Chain A
Amino acid sequence: MPELRKDPIIGRWVIISVERAKRPDDFVSTNGGPSEGECPFCEGKETNTPPEIYAIRKFGSKKNASGWDVRVVPSKTPFLRIEGNLDRTGKGIYDVMSGVGAHEIVIETPHHIANIADLDEEQIAKVLTCLVERFKDLEKDERFKYVLVFKNYGWSAGAGKVKHSRTQLIATPVTPKRVKEELIGSSEYYEHHERCIFCDLINQEIASKSRVILDIDGFISIAPFASRFPFEMWILPKKHSCDFYNLSFENNLDLARIIKKTLLKLRKGLNDPSFNLILHTAPFRRKKAGYWKTINEDYHWHIEIMPRLTRVAGFEWGTGFYICPIPPEDAAKYLREIEV
């Protein structure tokens, strides 16, 4: 059982993997990416993954067999384990919690395609539908407080050897620190202004135009004012909502369209760089968790995309200050002008 441990100073939780303990020579050099072996995610290879949790399938096809469009399976090497109770214990000044959680892989296409930007809009919309369904299902499990959805594309973004397009989903028993910071920031703003900070941000960005990359179908993609990374991009729904999984069926397709166009611009403009994509959404409102009353009004779900073009070094780790070598206004202008 992996362990969660809490930093007593700044409240950051870490997962200590006891069973998967690595030896020093297990670490591969970060030079380039290793060559790809056989892909367990392709159609016809369904028995190479753990049994599927959910899938969008063609009529009449069988579970764990061919005939699917999008497929969700548990991770073969999960960070957290689904079985077990949440046990919290103290060890002197330290807090320890058992590593209960869910770690799932959403296989975005039956074909061996690496970049989600190469899928068609309908296919991406199906991926979004799968994510919404997984949120609804995981919400029923009272042990989980938060679901993190993210994508590592390319070796320097932390992707594994297999290049097949996929998104990962991790349900955690605590609300993670970064998420909490964002929630606290949003609620403080709401307390002073009685408005959602993200709605204000969207209005200001649309008015000033300089950092807008795309403004289509009820969504915008922007290069954020305080970008941490060069060519960082956010996708936000113009309509206020704190929960991603309240996305309606028709909005699914609109969101799929802006995701595809935004990522195509990145690929074309920067020669197919590695990136991380992270969904920021509100935690589940559990009775005991004591979340503030205004979360529905003060928080606004969105997607953050971080291309991996620079290296994070001592300065960034030490300070939480990031050095961004290109102004977001220049990045937005460059990306705006790329035809897709």
Chain B
Amino acid sequence: MVEKIIKSLSINIPPHILRSRDPHALLTAIFAAWLPLSTALLVSVIGCLPSPASAQAARMSDLIENSPGADFVAPEVRDAMTNFKVSKDSPVVAYVSKMVAIPQSELPENKRRGGSALGAEEARELARKKRVEIARVQAIANGGNPDVGGLTDALNGAAIGGPGDQNGPPDSESKENSEHLIGFARLYSGTLSVGDSVYVLPPKFTPAKPHAHPEPQKATITALYLLMGRGLEPLMHVPAGVVFGISGLAGHVLKSGTLCSQLSGSVNLAGVNMGMRPIVRVALEPVNPSDLSKMIAGLKMLEQSDPCAEYEVLQSGEHVILTAGELHLERCLKDLRERFAKCEIQQGEPIVPYRESIVAAAEMNPPRDKDLPRGTVVGVTTSKQASVRLRVRPLPAAVTEFLGKNAGAIKRLYSERRAEEEGKRGNGTDTPTRQIAEHDGMEEAEAIETGHVLSLAEFKEQLRQAFAEAKTEKEAWKGVIEQITAFGPRRVGPNILVDATRSSICGKA
């Protein structure tokens, strides 16, 4: 009966599979001959999905528009990207999405096998691989212009570094332990070759200010790879449209970045922050304290190779890893233990960061003491001589925003006042000037950000306006400006302390 199906499908199934007792083997054999998975998928991909040329024509203009400083992108770069220019003299633009850690021993340069241990089977396999690879390189080199007859040329011409050679000497053990970072990239225009040097643009780069600090560095490409899952095949050239591995970026690219052949008028594709922030934080420590340095090095490596993992050291000295979720954490720890740090690592309980905020009255728990207005506490000193009454209430949004923006003005306010006080106390005039000088540097930085530092009068006037903007509880904030005693936290911030005592005991700010 099965034979009947096979006959009617006019396919051939090897007799040993027909006779086998495993129905699954037979099932897969029949389907592989009748409806092969790869054919259906690849033919549909070819038929339905756009080629890099047409996809880039459709997508690039939007992508460039959304990148930072889009107006400063040079027209030739824009043109090369949208029109998919493959030629060697077109500008090179590539996006590195992440850095992949590959064990040194798995790099094709180092992957050599002892010639003596090679069986006939293996040799054939290797030779086959090599030929496949050559065909592939040739296909890439030819681009859209395949030339089947030119195989011999390819054999002569593309003597691609001779990796995978079976006669190489066995590699030394020491090398195999280290990890090598390879960029996972896609080329949008131009052709990239080994030995080219390109500008590496960090994610915060904007073509509006190409020479802003830190100025992008040039990196020389030491190797290019065709990515074959875990395996890598070395390449000499990569034309636009290909997803490939790139070596020589370690130390230049942290997680993602853009490669460009020119600095001015280049485009930053990594600038848009995508995806989510990692939320699960766990403190890590090595089981053996002497492994600490190993663990730190491993964590740094992990941070680079995983786009979503972050590493930080808390003030308490704890080494904390931030991951996207529990599964991701598990995976990161496994990578750390087995590849990056190679030591036993203990994880602590997840750390929940403590954050507080002021919410609207309606959302709050009912007050503990019903007689007092909301957010009020009354404390009496032990001697019952004085009582302190403190009330907390949210500031209008416009005010906090204003205070946040004008941190520089607040800072100057303080420094001026302190100078005044110092001047009053000590008769010498040297001290205050020195103090102001100390603050000057910071103020200047702030001033650049806000435009200019407001004088006290201006500051007060604008603050009054900000209060006036607040729609609710206008009465409560009336005249408050003259009563401000301090800003917080740490003197510059969006919080204010208002002195509401009748005789204004505290000094004014």
Do A and B actually bind?
no
